[in-house]
Copies of this chain bind each other. A is one copy, B any other.
Amino acid sequence: MKFSTRAGYGLRAMVNLAKNHPRRKNLQEISKEEGMSLKYLEQLFRILKKNNLVVSRKGRVGGYVLAKNPKFIRAGEIIEIMDGPIAPMECAGGRCDMKCSCASSVVWIKLRQQIKKTLYGIKLSELI
């Protein structure tokens, strides 16, 4: 079981931005501070922006700011956006291909609830 590194990078970048909130910051700085490829960061931030977690400004003094106060952003939001919906197994999503007796599906459903609870229980503001 693993979350993608994309989720890890996304979370780190958001924490970085949160520390700077509500000032604007550009990707070169973040890239240097976090040791991540600039080009890759650009991709990640396009996703974050599309999902309204950040607001951007183009041009000479451009950069990104969090779209909301870090108090109102949950780790779970970021992670689900970067990694896709939390669903440890098909079962947990509702529809399951495997036609089984499926006593086992309760495991995945319960697990999913717990993961969501944990991840949405953490505010970005707690990570600064």
Contacts and interface: CB of A to CB of B under 8 A. Distances in A.
Interface of A: 1-5, 7-8, 11-12, 15-16, 33-35, 75, 79, 83-84, 86-91, 98-104, 106-108, 110-111, 114-115, 117-119, 122, 127-128
Nearest to A121: B110
Q: Report how many copies the assembly holds.
A: 2
A45 to B, nearest CB: 16
A117 B128 CA distance: 26
A67 B102 CA distance: 22
A88 B1 contact: yes
Contacts of A15: 101, 103-104
A114 B119 CA distance: 10
